[in-house]
Amino acid sequence: MPMPIAELEASLREAFPDAEIHVDDLAGDGDHYRARIRSTAFRGLNRIKQHQLVYGALKGKVGGELHALALETSAPD
């Protein structure tokens, strides 16, 4: 069963409460999302470490309920 966009956003906001988060449903099917996350949690981390934090926050849902997630992560200037 696909993950509703509201559930994805809630999981991300719980993990990154200070973040600016924008989620788009890329295919309109609830299976392919793009998430743009700007958080102080990413400060000083390379892109791989930033993405690992996001995947950890989603607790194994990527590849299961959440088929595909394109990530754009950054820290505030």
pLDDT in tens, 22-32: 999 998 888 88
| Domain 5-74 architecture | 2-Layer Sandwich (3.30)
Segments making up each domain of the chain, as ranges: 5-74
What the block records as the tokens of 57 is 């926050």
For the segment 13-57, what is each residue's pLDDT rounded down to a tens digit?
Answer: 999 999 999 999 998 888 889 999 999 999 999 999 999 999 999
Residue type for 4, please?
P
